[in-house]
């Protein structure tokens, strides 16, 4: 999963990388401008300082001299953060006062016109100004330079840079957050779609609802729904084929059965009679299997069993169906008992399928409840309509319990009888009626008990039809 491209990460990367580059470029540019701004602010002070120094230069015997009291010098040189150095010299380079080691470039030819310079003083970068002045009474002009280290300037530039950059970074973060949450919100409808898909069982091929799905995703869902539609058709055709095939088998199987039955009535040698009996047995099983396949196909959702639903009395279905099994039960030495309330137990269903349900449960109990003396069909109307068929047979092994409702699964595979479809049909019929089916066996129940519980009838809804 983590290797798959992520919409969120992809979009964020596409946005964040260029934006980040832009911010870096912008920061560089801003810093240059900020430094220029800081320079122009502090350069004024440098000029002022140079000019006020120039004003203090006096002529003494034709010689330019500068005498400053110690306090004044201290005030001049004092600065909170930067070191300030000066140098006053003659045009020919003779030092009058100040730092001899301060390297000063050639000043402008024009008097009082400042020329700025950058350099190093005692291994620290500095910026300074140099002017040419001609105090009154002096023949030759003098050169005055004032320079300072760059701490104030850099810190101002850094402050300006921060003021510009912080909002930009905040903007980038906000954009990333908005994109992340925007995509998350956009994907939420996809989560709904995936929940809709997850909730489907393997037979539900109805289209996924398109509501609230973003336009961009709609084509995917539309194609998925189309695929569902085609699958549904194919499945339907396949099940219809099974129903048709089972149906078509009936006539030839009838012919087979009939011929064998009339053959049985002939005078025949004992050996041939035995063979006819086993042919008849095989024919009977084929007929039973075809019938079971047909019933199964009819109970499946594709056949839409609900269209033939009506108001049914479970007690009369169980009584009518049970009656048909009495001769067979008596023949097997089993007492078939109906335990039902005197009043009808109503439910909404298909009487033919419900009758098949009862038949299959009794058939199953007769086949597998070996040595049981009784089989009880128990109907109850409370709290919900239910039907149970119980035998006192050997029960089913625990490992088979979860599988008995599977198609073609037979707990006692060796016995040769039965189609393995009986309980699958039971499950299908019960679920077509919106009910649930469960099985209890030894040791919890003394034998085997299959219980089908149906939803209670909503009495008013049915009348509308």
Partner 1 sequence: MRLLLVEDDPDLADGLAAALGRAGFSVDRVADGKSATDALEAQPYDLMLLDLGLPRMDGFEVLRSARARKLTVPVLILTARDALEDRVHGLDLGADDYLTKPFELAELEARARALIRRSAGNPAPDVRVGELTIDIKTRTARHRGEPVNLSPRDFAVLEILAAKPGHVVAKDRLVNSISTWDKDFSENSAEVYVHRLRKKLGPLGIEIVTMRGFGYLIRVAPQ
Provide the binding-site residues for partner 1, judged by CB under 8 A.
247-248, 250-259, 261-262, 265, 287, 308, 319, 322-323, 326-327, 330, 335-340, 351-352, 377
Comparison of 98 and 351: residue with beta carbon closer to partner 1: 351
How far apart CA 459 and CA 346 sit, in angstroms, is: 10
User: Cβ 200 to partner 1, closest distance in Å?
Assistant: 30
Residues in contact with 120: Cβ distance below 8 Å, sequence separation at least 6, in sequence order: 103, 126
CB of 245 to partner 1, least distance (A): 12
151 vs 124: CA distance, rounded Å: 10
Instruction: Kindly tell me which of 351 and 369 has the beta carbon lying closer to partner 1.
Output: 351
- Sign of the CA dihedral 249, 254, 259, 264? positive
Strands (E), 91-210: 95-98, 115-121, 124-133, 142-149
Residue number, 46 or 294, with CB nearest to partner 1: 294
Q: How far apart are CA 75 and CA 86, in angstroms?
A: 13
Which of 377, 396 has the CB closer to partner 1? Answer: 377
Cβ 358 vs Cβ 321: under 8 Å = yes
Determine the 3-state secondary structure of 148 from DSSP: strand
Residue 60 or 339 with smaller CB distance to partner 1: 339
Q: Are strands 335-339 and 374-380 parallel, antiparallel or unpaired?
A: parallel
Minimum separation from the CB atom of position 260 to partner 1 (A):
9
Q: How far is the CB of 183 from partner 1 (least distance, A)?
A: 55
Phi and psi at residue 341, to the nearest 5°: -65, 160
Give min distance, CB of 297 to partner 1, in A: 12
CB of 307 vs partner 1, minimal distance in Å: 11
Nearer to partner 1 (CB atom), residue 344 or residue 394: 344
DSSP secondary structure string for all residues of 26-79: HHHHHHHHHHHHHHHHHHHHHHHHHHHHHHT-EEETTEEE----HHHHHHHH--
The least distance separating partner 1 from the CB of residue 429, rounded to whole angstroms, comes to: 15
Token look-up 């009679």 returns 273
Site of tokens 């709904």: 192
Name the minimum Å distance from CB 247 to partner 1.
6
**What DSSP letter does each residue of 207-255 carry, written as one string?**
PPP-TT--TTTHHHHHHHHHHHHHHHHHHHHHHHHHHHHHHHHHHHHHH
Residue with Cβ nearer partner 1 (81 or 247): 247
Compute the least distance from the CB of residue 453 to partner 1, in Å. 20
- Shortest separation between residue 286's beta carbon and partner 1, angstroms: 9
| 138 or 379: CB nearest partner 1 | 379
DSSP-derived letter for residue 374 is: E
Q: Which is nearer to partner 1, 92 or 251 (CB)?
A: 251
Q: Which lies closer to partner 1 via its Cβ, residue 124 or residue 311?
A: 311
d(CA 372, CA 3): 61
Contact yes or no for 125/118 (Cβ under 8 A): yes
């Amino acid at each position: 999963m983590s290797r798959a491209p992520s919409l969120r990460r992809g979009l964020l990367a596409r946005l964040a990388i260029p934006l980040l580059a832009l911010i870096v470029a912008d920061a560089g540019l801003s810093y240059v401008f900020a430094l220029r701004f800081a320079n122009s602010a502090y350069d004024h002070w440098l000029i002022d300082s140079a000019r006020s120094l120039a004003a203090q230069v006096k002529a003494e015997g034709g010689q330019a001299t500068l005498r400053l009291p110690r306090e004044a010098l201290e005030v001049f040189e004092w600065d909170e953060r930067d070191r300030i150095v000066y140098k006053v010299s003659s045009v020919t380079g003779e030092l009058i006062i100040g730092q001899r080691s301060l390297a000063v470039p050639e000043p402008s030819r024009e008097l009082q016109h400042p020329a700025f310079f950058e350099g190093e003083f005692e291994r620290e970068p500095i910026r300074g100004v140099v002017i040419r002045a001609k105090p009154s009474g002096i023949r030759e002009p003098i050169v005055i330079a004032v320079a300072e280290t760059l701490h104030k300037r850099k810190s101002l530039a850094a402050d300006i840079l921060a003021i510009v950059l912080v909002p930009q970074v905040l903007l980038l973060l906000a954009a990333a957050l908005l994109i992340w949450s925007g995509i998350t919100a956009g994907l939420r409808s996809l989560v709904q779609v995936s929940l809709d898909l997850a909730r489907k069982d393997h037979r539900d091929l109805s289209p996924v609802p398109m509501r609230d799905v973003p336009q961009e995703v709609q084509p995917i869902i539309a194609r998925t729904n189309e695929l569902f539609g085609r699958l549904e058709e194919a499945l339907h055709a396949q099940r219809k084929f099974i129903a048709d095939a089972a149906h078509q088998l009936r006539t030839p199987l009838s012919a087979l059965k009939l011929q064998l039955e009339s053959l049985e009535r002939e005078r025949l040698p004992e050996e041939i009679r035995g063979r006819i009996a086993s042919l008849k047995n095989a024919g009977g099983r084929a007929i039973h299997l075809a019938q079971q396949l047909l019933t199964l196909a009819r109970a499946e959702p594709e056949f839409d069993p609900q269209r033939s639903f009506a108001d049914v009395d479970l007690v009369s279905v169980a009584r009518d169906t049970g009656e048909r099994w009495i001769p067979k039960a008596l023949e097997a030495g089993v007492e078939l008992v109906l335990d039902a309330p005197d009043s009808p137990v109503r439910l909404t269903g298909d009487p033919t399928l419900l009758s098949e349900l009862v038949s299959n449960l009794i058939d199953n109990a007769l086949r597998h409840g070996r040595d049981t003396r009784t089989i009880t069909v128990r109907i109850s109307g409370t709290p919900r309509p239910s039907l149970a068929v119980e035998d006192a047979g050997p029960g089913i092994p625990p490992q088979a319990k979860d599988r008995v409702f599977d198609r073609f699964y037979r707990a006692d595979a060796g016995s040769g009888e039965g189609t393995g479809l009986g309980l699958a049909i039971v499950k299908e019929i019960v679920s077509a009626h919106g009910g649930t089916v469960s099985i209890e066996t030894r040791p919890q129940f003394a034998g085997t008990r299959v219980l089908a519980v149906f939803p209670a009838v909503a009495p008013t809804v049915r009348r509308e039809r």
